Amino acid sequence: MALKLVKTGLFSSIQVPFNFIEYAAKEELHTAARELDMGILAMKPFAGGMIDNAAIAFKFLRQYPDVIPIPGYDSVDSVDEVVSFYQSPNIVTERDTRLMDKYRKELGKQFCRRCEYCQPCPNGVMITPAMAYKIIASRMSPAVSVEFSRAAMESVKLCDDCGACIERCPYELPIPEMLKSSYDLYEQHLAELK
């Protein structure tokens, strides 16, 4: 659809997700936009928070100098950090490439982008934070992960598989299945902490 719209020539810019995990746009879509001299904006430069390393995210993005990333900022310090990346040449080393691959492998193809289009759940399941449990657990200890996510994970028990969220998810994620798998890990952590 985005490609069709670009080709109409009616628009002056295009804004779609673009980061080292979701980079399909760089093929046809960005090429078509460039041919029409359109501005290209990179939405979700941190993949909805899945990339927790701003330096590596920008190393990837700066390889496309005509693509303008539009990150969300929560402090003046984070603005300063991003500005600092642009004060030296962009060098992507083999180590950087390996790190990007590690993120891709860890997330796989099915991961939540935290867009929240699936919500609200009629049963009150806190879908987005519960979907993030595995990522949280990969970065924090089980004790901290359990404490941090307790409310969201306890809400998973309210899921009755109605499927309403699946219909709303633009990435067609099997949400109840993924929630159950996150919950299994949460339960395992609870058991370990007893």
Residues forming contacts to ligand SF4 in the complex (CB under 6 A) are: 112-118, 121-123, 125, 127-128, 131, 159-165, 168-169, 171, 173, 175-176
Residue with tokens 């759940």: 121
- Report the residue number, 6 or 51, with the smaller CB distance to ligand SF4: 51
User: In degrees rounded to 5, what are phi and psi of residue 186?
Assistant: -60, -45
CB of 134 to ligand SF4, least distance (A): 13
Q: Are strands 39-43 and 13-17 parallel, antiparallel or unpaired?
A: parallel
In the complex, least distance from residue 119 CB atom to ligand SF4, rounded to whole angstroms:
7
**CB nearer to ligand SF4: pick between 146 and 165:** 165
- Partners of residue 40 on adjacent β-strands: 14, 67
Toward ligand SF4, which CB reaches closer, 145 or 155?
155
Kindly report the three-state secondary structure assignment for every residue of 37-97: CCEEEEECCCHHHCCCCHHHHHHHHCCCCCEEECCCCCCHHHHHHHHHHCCCCCCCCHHHH
Q: Which is nearer to ligand SF4, 20 or 58 (CB)?
A: 20
Shortest Å distance, C-beta 133 to ligand SF4: 13
Residue type, 146: V
| Residues 17-51: b if buried by 16+ CB within 10 A, e if exposed | bbbbbbbebeeebbebbeeeebebbbbbbbbbebb
Residue with Cβ nearer ligand SF4 (23 or 171)? 171
Query: At its nearest, how many Å lie between ligand SF4 and the CB of residue 19?
Result: 14
Report the nearest approach of ligand SF4 to the CB of residue 112 (Å): 3
